[in-house]
Structures are given as structure tokens and as C-alpha cells.
Amino acid sequence: MQAMSSSLQIVLLPQQAAVKLRLGIFLISAAIFVATAAAEVSNSSCNRTCGSLEIPYPFGTSKGCYFNLSFLITCKSSSSSSTSTPTPYLRVSNIKVLNISLDGELRVSASVARDCPQKSNYNSSKNNTNLTLQKFPISYSKNVFTAIGCDTMGLISSSASDKNYMTGCVSLCDSIDNMVNGSCSGIGCCQTPIPDGIKDLNVLAGSLENHSKVMKFNPCSFAFVVEEKAYKFSTLDLQNMQGKRAFPLVLDWAVGKQTCKDAKKNTIEYACKAANSECYDSTNGPGYRCNCSLGYDGNPYLSRGCKDIDECNTPNHGCAVNAICVNHMGSYSCSCPIGYQGDGWRNGSSCTPVIPKPSNSKNIIIALCISISLLVLLLGGSSVLFGLKRRKLIKLQEKYFQQNGGLMLQEHILNHGRSMETTKIFSNDELKKATNNYDESRVLGKGGYGTVYKGVLPDNKVVAIKKSKVCDKSQIEQFINEVILLNQINHRNVVKLLGCCLETEVPLLVYEFITNGTLSDHIHDISRASPLSWERRLKIATETARALAYLHSETSMPIIHRDVKSTNILLDDNHTAKVADFGASRLIALDQTEITTLVQGTLGYLDPEYFQTGQLTEKSDVYSFGVVLAELLTGEEAISTNRPETYKNLAMYFVSAVKEDRLLHILQDHIVNEANIEPLKEVANLAKGCLRLRGEDRPTMMEVAMELEGLRNMEKHPWGKDNQTTEETEYLLSTPTLPFNIDIGVGSSASAVSGHDSMINQLLKPLDDGR
Ligand SMILES: *[C@@H]1O[C@H](CO)[C@@H](O)[C@H](O)[C@H]1NC(C)=O
Ligand SMILES: *[C@@H]1O[C@H](CO)[C@@H](O)[C@H](O)[C@H]1NC(C)=O
Ligand SMILES: *[C@@H]1O[C@H](CO)[C@@H](O)[C@H](O)[C@H]1NC(C)=O
């Protein structure tokens, strides 16, 4: 395996420089990985049972089916009769295996030590228990040493382990009368715990006076180590253990001798193969274990072993009785149906109908009659006043409409009727109603740029409405042009602009509502239940690249996004990427506090060549996209003071690591597994290409998109996993989202960007001074 991956590396190295399609290589590497992965865990041909025992990987009965020899289970059929069920043994020992669980427990059968002195009916016999486990320690938390008898001393010792120790307990009594079933407090039965980390056992039973005084009811002494739950003392055991000769003993199994931290460094040997799995250090001796992340279950040792749990199909999910439960990958959500209010969770406020039931008292009817007549009187008077106010408002709205370029837009719609069929000019009233008069509870997010509200249109369509803070009057024409242009974009990976409202002091923009927050949240918010898997990251990268390639080359006029960053990539419930895009930058007020937040938000993604020359080309987006790729690969922030001074900038940190062949050290731990090292390297090289200093040397967005697409197909096909159906249903689901702050440039002509250049120059200044 080692040899194979290093030879692959040699094949790929010369390719690093050229960023072009290398589908041939993908095919070869993918094919090799299928082959090696199959050799490692050929689950189809492996025998996964022995008698009634289920044998999950990493355990196995034959070569190629277990992780390493420690996990060998020998399955033997007893030679005497051919029909008897076969018996599983631990490795090559004669220790019978009873049960294997993936949470690190292994039950074996351990015999009972006994001592029956001369005069007993059971012939004089003395039998010790000797157990040598070698690899897996005996669980100190689950087992207990137990001795049974009324003239009994039980001893337990261990020598082969690192620890030499001996302990025991004594049980003395003279009649059965004062014994209590189930109690091992030294009368008839005594117990004592065992220490951690022991891997062998020697158990001895003995007596002090050869049972001479208690022979009638207790002829023998017994001693054994047993799973605490599996043994309950009964006075009947004093005779002959009711014939029981062995008890279950729990072992704590773990992989290897390393801690998680060390084990992760060797990705080939690392046993937690599943995406969405986590590593835990063993609590009893060296080694580590794997578990599926929260929200997933299955076998974390298999590369596709951890499956999403459909919580909504489990009986005790946390949604309130009449709430709607929606399953997501690794989590789920509850919400109240339309017409109900509440947060939908069982422990929160359950769903109640919005309209309170009228109570059926007569008084209410009388009160109603009175108030209606009063109302009629009042209305008569106030309608005159109201009419005057209303007219004033309408006039103001008309004024704003004109100020905001409404006539210009209307004219355009008239001239280009068909192509503008999706542009909607919303009225102020409509949006007020949609946002419940811009109610605080509808705010999705606030920032230097303004406020984003969640709105519900009369047809129940959920939208995001952006209300900017200040509008620069000189750029109204620009703004209208952008609204028109962006409205024509119809790409599934671009957030759709639905329309705008010009009747307010600042124009309002109405967007498609994206449900699952920003990519940045998903990468950097450690409080999220489960991190994005590599497959998902690759999907998001591919979709983003596709969207940018489309903006660059397939729209009537090339559109340069100019602010590609992880906070501008929104995700819906199926983790489909939506590049958020509109001309909001024009609307950003240039006061001091907002500049600093903008610098922080965008620095780290800005193309250095564009910084220096002021020349904007599509390649600036390619650079920014390269930073997003690096972010996806490393899980690091684009700018972080946690890194050394020279590597504050992720682009520099990333490129130097790739150049020095340290890629494996900087990749985010959980995305790396044996099967995706090569694809990860490919993507890293692609990111490096995007981050070249000279724009000319960078690939085009189209090339990037095609290369990612190729890689994704490679990942998808060998295992036949295809999530097309989920992609198609993605528009149907929705839950709350975060706001977007997007900055997009239209066209590459100098005039189109002049307004923004001066801003960038201003942004640069404090940075230079600060160095
Ligand atoms: C093995 O473990 C499973 C799950 O913990 C349990 O249902 C089963 O009864 C166990 N079998 C034995 C023989 O202990
Ligand atoms: C010990 O126990 C085994 C069965 O568990 C039995 O076959 C053997 O004879 C015993 N040895 C002695 C010395 O009693
Ligand atoms: C303990 O339980 C057994 C039956 O399980 C019973 O025969 C015996 O009398 C009980 N002993 C005491 C002391 O309760």
C-alpha cells in the first residue's frame, strides 16, 4: 500500500505545474484506489458471522477481512460432530468470544476457579483460571472480581502485564440464614474491583478450614472475574454454582498503540475511515477507538460506514406533537406548520394555532355590538384625516420611486418585455406586509451594509429582503443596470434576484431565500454538530466554480463577482452552493467603522495583482476562488492571527505548504482518508494554480470547474453513490438562513468599476500603514 501511493505521487508530481484537464490520470488513480480499498476491507466475500456471533470490521475471520492480526477471530467447528454450530475464539487462543460491540467492548467467556476439599461430594479438586489476553485489556469499569463461599478466600493476580499485582477477598459465614440474594458484602459472597490495564488473569479459590464447618450447605469455594451486570449472587450458588462453569468477561478493545493525535498522522493506517467519524483515545491502556459523529451511526471503521440517522423516523425525536420534522444530514429540525406558532420543539413552545379561539360568552357578543357601532362613528371622522395622510405617503413613495431610477427600470421593462419577465418591481406596501412592517423578529442579519429581513409574499413564497443603509445617489443608474443584468442570471448555483422595490428612500432588493447559512459558517463554526465531509466540500467547490464560470463566460456581458469568499457562498438544505451576487457594494456607506469591517471581511481573498495594478479581470475571481478552495481543504480562516505572522494570509500559508510537500500536515484532519488522498492532492494543486501571483498564469474559471467536475465524477462513480434525487428536491425545503453581504462588479470596463476602485485604494491605506 505504502509503495503504491508513493509511486502514484511520482506520476503526479510533474503534472503539478500544468493546470489543465487531466482526466486520464484521474481514471488511473481512481482505479488503483478502488483496487486497494477493496483489498483492505473486502466486505462482500468476508464471513461476518461465526455461529450466532456477529463479527463487524475491524474484526474478521480471515486475511483481508480484519484490520490487523489483533482482530482475528478464529472460527472452529468442533470436530466431534459435523452438525454442531462453530465456535469463535479470540485470535489463536482457546478463549471463546461471546459478543463484539463497535463501542469498544468484547465479551469473552472466563471459567470459574474452584476448590472442593477432600470430604466434599464433588471429589477433591482444585481448578485455577488462567487467562492470557495479550492484546486487549480487561475492562476495570465493567468487571468485578467475585468469590463465593462460607469458608472462602479468592485471589486474583496478574503478572504478564506492565502491572504486577495481587488482591483478593474473603467470605466467611456459618449459616445461610443471614445471607441476602443479590448482595456481595462478604457474607457468602465478596467482591472487589480490578485495576485498569491488565491483560492477563490468574484466579485462585481457596479455603481456610477446608469447609469443615459449612460442608452441608457449602462444599466448595469459587472465584471468578465477571461482568458486573451478568452475575447476581444467589444462595443456591453456594452448592455448586448451579452448574455454571464460566461467566462473561468484558474486554476493552482498541486499535493500535497510538493516541488519536499520532494515529491521524498516518492516514493510511488510521482506522477511522468513515466520513463523519471521530476518534477517541482508549480509556483503558493504549490505542484509540472510532465512533460515528453525532447524528450518524454505523461502522466508523469502514470508509462509507457512518450513515445519517433519520431522526424523524425515530420514535423519540424532539419535535412537538403537531410539528413538522425535517431530516438533514447529521441533524434534523422541527418547525410549526403554516397557521401555527411556536418553535416546534417538544421542550420549547409547542405549535399552537395562530388565531385564538373566540370564547362563546354572550357578553362578548354584546360588547362587540357596542364596539362596532362606536367604530362606525369613529371611522367616519377619521377617514377624512386618514385619506389626507395616505395621499401624502403616496406622493413620497412616488418621489422615491423616481429618485431610485424607477422610471428607467420601467422603461427597460417596457422595451425588453420578454427578457424581463422575472423582474418584479415590488410596492412598498407589499414588502411591508411581507416583513410584518420590518418587524425585529424577521431580521435575518445585520451588518455594515444594512439589514436583511425574511419576508413571506402573499403566495407564501419565502424571500430575503435587503434594506441597505445609505444609497449613493450618483450610482443609481449603475444600480438599475445591475438589477437588470442580475435578473437575467438564471443559474441553479447563483442566488436569484427576484426583484426590487424603489418606493422607499433606499431601494430594497428581493432575493430567493436560502435556508442553510453560509459556507463559512459550515467550515468555521465549530459548534456545528457535524463538519462538512470531503465529498460535500468537493460538491460545493464544483458548484461554486460552475456558477463563476457561468458568470464569466455565459452571460451576455461578463460579470466579475469581485468578492468571492466563503461568506458569500450560501448553502441550502442539501448543501447545494448558491453564490450570492448583486450590486450591493454601491450601497455601502463609506463611514469609518464600516470600512474596517469590510477590510476584515474581504482581505485575504483579494487578488494581489488587482491590488497593485487596479486592473480587474476574471482572473481576480479565480484567485479568490483559490482561497476558498484552500479554506475547504484546510478548514483555516482566510486571515488568521493564530498562524505565524508570515502565514497570516491563508493563500501564502497554503501555497508554501504545498510547495514544501507538507500538504498532509495542513489538510483538515477529518476530511483525509486513504481513499481520497490523491483527489485531495489534485484539488490542492488546482488551488495552488488559482493562487498564482500573475493572473495570466491562473487557469480560467471554466477550466477550474471542469477539473473539479472530473474529480467529482471520479469520486462518485467507483462507489456508485449518486445523490441526484436529493439535488432535485432541494428547492422544496426551507428553514432560516443568514444574511448575505455581496459585492459584485459588472463588466470589465473601467467606467463600470471606477467607483469601487477608489474604495479599494482607501481600504489599502490603513493596511500599509499598519505594517
Ligand atoms: C451481545 O450484545 C448485544 C448488544 O449489546 C446484546 O443484544 C446481546 O444479547 C449480547 N449477546 C450476548 C451473548 O451477550
Ligand atoms: C478443571 O476443570 C475442567 C473443566 O472446566 C475439568 O475438565 C478438569 O478436570 C478440572 N481440573 C481439575 C484438576 O479438577
Ligand atoms: C434466593 O433465591 C433463591 C431462588 O432464586 C431461593 O431459593 C432462596 O431461598 C433465596 N435465598 C434467600 C436468602 O432469600
Q: How far is the CA of 99 from the centre of ligand 1 (A)?
A: 6
Lining ligand 2 with CB less than 6 A are 111, 125, 127, 245
Q: Highest mean pLDDT: which of 244-258, 583-597, 752-766?
A: 244-258
Q: Which of 16-20, 113-117, 336-340 has the highest mean pLDDT?
A: 113-117
Distance CA 476, CA 485 (A): 14
Q: Is 109 in the pocket of ligand 3 (CB under 6 A)?
A: no
Spatial distance between the Cα atoms of 137 and 160, rounded to a whole number of angstroms: 12
300/715 Cα distance (integer angstroms): 19
Q: Quote the percentage of the chain above a pLDDT of 70.
A: 72
- Rounded-to-integer distance, Cα 649 and Cα 498, Å: 36
Please state the rounded mean pLDDT for residues 722-739.
37
CB atoms closer than 10 angstroms to residue 105 = 16
Whose atoms come closest to the Cα of 233: which ligand? 3
Percent of the chain with pLDDT over 90: 28
- Evaluate the CA torsion angle 760, 766, 769, 771 in order and state its sign: negative
Residue predicted with more confidence, 469 or 19 = 469
Three-state secondary structure call for residue 599: helix
What is the pLDDT, as a whole number, of residue 476?
Answer: 66
Angle between helices 362-403 and 406-415 (to 10 degrees): 80
Give yes or no for a cis peptide into 58 (omega within 30° of 0). yes
Q: What is the position in ligand 2's atom list of the atom closest to the CA of 125?
A: 14
Sheet with 105-111, strands from edge to edge, namely 97-101, 105-111, 246-252
Chain segment 560-572, per-residue pLDDT in tens: 777 888 888 999 9
Q: Exposed, middle or buried: residue 62 (CB in 10 Å: 0-12, 13-18, 19+)?
A: middle
Q: What is the pTM of this model?
A: 0.47
**234 CA: nearest ligand 3 atom:** 1
**Which ligand places an atom closest to the C-alpha of 130?**
2
Position with higher pLDDT, 364 vs 54 = 54
- Residue of 287, 231, 301 lying closest to 258 (CA atoms): 287
Q: What is the pLDDT of residues 483-507, one digit of tens each?
A: 776 777 788 898 888 888 877 777 7
pLDDT above 80: residue 723: no
Q: What is the pLDDT of residues 532-556, one digit of tens each?
A: 889 999 999 999 999 999 888 877 6
- Mutate which of 99, 101, 107 for ligand 1? The one with the most ligand atoms within 8 Å of its CB, which is 99
Q: 73 near 89, Cβ under 8 Å?
A: yes
Q: Which residues pair with 302 in a beta bridge?
A: none
Report pLDDT for 496: 83
User: What domains can be seen in the chain, in order of their start residue?
Assistant: 43-86 (no CATH), 97-252 (no CATH), 313-353 (2.10.25), 406-512 (3.30.200.20), 519-763 (1.10.510.10)
Quick: pLDDT tens for 242-299: 889 999 999 999 999 999 999 998 888 899 999 899 999 999 989 999 999 998 999 9
Dist. CA 236 → ligand 3 center (Å)? 7
For 769, half-sphere exposure in the C-beta direction (CA atoms, 13 angstrom radius) is: 6
| Interval 164-186: pLDDT, tens | 888 999 999 988 888 889 999 88
In our burial notation (b when 16+ CB lie closer than 10 A, e otherwise), range 14-31 reads eebeebeebeebbeebbe
- The answer on whether 389 is annotated among ligand-binding residues is no
Instruction: Dump pLDDT digits (tens) for 6-44.
Output: 333 333 333 333 333 333 333 334 333 333 343 445 457
**Cα-to-centroid distance, 145 and ligand 2 (Å):** 21
Backbone angles phi, psi at 652, to 5 degrees: -70, -45
Q: Which three cell numbers stand for residue 350?
A: 409547542
SS (H, E, C) 46-62: CCCEECCEECCCCCECC
What residue owns the CA closest to ligand 2's atom 1?
127
Q: What is the mean pLDDT of the chain?
A: 77
> pLDDT band at residue 369, thresholds of 50, 70 and 90?
low
Asked if residues 465 and 758 have their Cβ atoms less than 8 Å apart, the reply is: no
> Is 563 annotated in the active site?
yes
Instruction: Determine the pLDDT at residue 736.
Output: 34
User: How much distance in Å is there from the Cα of 182 to the middle of ligand 3?
Assistant: 10
pLDDT confidence of residue 34:
37
Length of the chain: 771
Task: Write down the catalytic residue from 563, 607, 621, 743.
Answer: 563
